[in-house]
């Protein structure tokens, strides 16, 4: 289960520059000094919230990686989004809706739990916060639309190649290697493919020297080669 670590100090938070408070002027923090969201920690595979439950809090990811998933009654699962540090999630409550997805920690995580009513007040009082939240909502929408294009219009190999390129652009790099804390099954759930299909493509590409992998990290060794796979004809 989740473990309450204490209360967050947004002003001095080490990921403040990534959060919705990034652009709030230093002086303005005095006005919100009563705002100290709980900081929770989760272990790998623990659930942060469940689809369908009442959304009384939104969350900001401080550390680790989180997946947002949806499940069909027959058990087939779709990963909707993988979150990184600074991401705001679980904000369905702003439209008085229950959570539309289940949030699960992919690695050990720390999240700030932001009470919706307080966040609503902050949003009203500080235009910077409102703007930041709007930007994030629209960014999520844009990325969801981009993903619909991936899922609806591309084939297995194209989806996988495009996923790898996107992942490696964003991820933090150690010596050219990027952490990939997703199992084959999870990559499949994200891209609408089976474990075996994912494994086959990755193995092929490793054999061809296009990508490398070791201990949960990957590396793209032939960027142009992979880019060509993204979209059979044209530069996607």
- Residue 7 interaction partner, one of its own copies, DNA, none, beta carbon < 5-8 Å per kind: none
140 vs 178 by CB, closer to its own copies = 140
**Cβ-based nearer residue to its own copies, 139 or 208:** 139
3-state secondary structure of 211: strand
The residue (of 45 and 131) whose beta carbon lies closer to DNA is 45
Partner whose binding site includes residue 91, from DNA, its own copies, none (CB under 5 to 8 Å by kind):
its own copies
Q: Whole-angstrom Cα distance, residue 207 to residue 185? A: 21
185 is a site residue for its own copies (CB under 8 A): no
> Looking at 4, 148, 185, 223, which residue binds its own copies (CB under 8 A)?
148
Closer to its own copies by Cβ: residue 192 or 225: 192
CB crowding 61-71: b at 16 or more within 10 Å, else e:
bbebbbbbbee
Q: What is the C-alpha separation between 52 and 92, in angstroms, rounded?
A: 10
Residue 226 to residues 62, 146, 153, 177, 220, Cα–Cα distance (Å): 32, 19, 18, 16, 8
* Interface with its own copies in residues 60-99 (CB under 8 A): 70, 72-74, 76-78, 80, 91-92, 94-95, 97
Q: What is d(CA 38, CA 7) in angstroms, rounded to the nearest whole number? A: 5
| Contact status, residue 106 vs residue 186, Cβ threshold 8 Å | yes
For the CB of residue 126, give the shortest distance to DNA in the complex, in Å.
43
Pick 39 or 164: Cβ nearer its own copies: 164
Across-strand partners of 70? 78
Of 212, 213, 188, the closest CA to residue 199 belongs to 188
Over its C-alpha atoms, the chain yields an Rg (Å, rounded) of: 19
Residue 80 interacting partner from DNA, its own copies, none (CB closer than 5 to 8 Å by kind): its own copies
Strand pairing class (102-105; 66-71): antiparallel
CB of 161 to its own copies, least distance (A): 13
| Residues forming the site for its own copies (CB under 8 A) | 70, 72-74, 76-78, 80, 91-92, 94-95, 97, 100-101, 124, 127, 134-135, 137-142, 144-149, 151-154, 189-192, 231-236
């Amino acid at each position: 289960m989740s473990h309450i670590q204490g209360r967050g100090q947004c002003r001095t938070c080490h990921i403040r520059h990534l959060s919705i408070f990034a652009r709030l002027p230093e002086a303005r923090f005095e006005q919100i000094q009563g705002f100290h969201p709980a900081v929770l920690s989760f272990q790998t595979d623990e659930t942060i919230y469940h689809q369908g439950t009442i959304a009384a809090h939104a969350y900001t990811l401080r550390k680790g990686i989180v997946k947002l998933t949806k499940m069909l009654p027959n058990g087939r699962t779709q990963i909707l989004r993988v979150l990184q540090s600074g991401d705001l999630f679980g904000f369905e409550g702003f439209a008085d809706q229950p959570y539309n997805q289940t949030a699960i920690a992919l690695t050990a995580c720390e999240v700030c739990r932001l009470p919706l009513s307080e966040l609503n007040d902050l949003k009203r009082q500080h235009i910077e916060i409102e703007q930041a939240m709007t930007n994030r909502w629209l960014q999520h929408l844009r990325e969801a639309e981009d993903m619909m294009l991936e899922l609806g219009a591309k084939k297995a190999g194209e989806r996988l190649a495009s996923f790898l390129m996107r992942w490696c652009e964003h991820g933090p790099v150690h010596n050219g290697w990027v952490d990939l804390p997703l199992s084959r099954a999870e990559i499949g759930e994200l891209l609408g493919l089976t474990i075996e299909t994912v494994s086959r493509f990755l193995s092929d590409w490793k054999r061809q020297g296009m990508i490398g992998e070791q201990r949960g990290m990957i590396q793209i060794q032939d960027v142009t080669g992979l880019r060509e796979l993204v979209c059979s004809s044209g530069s996607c």
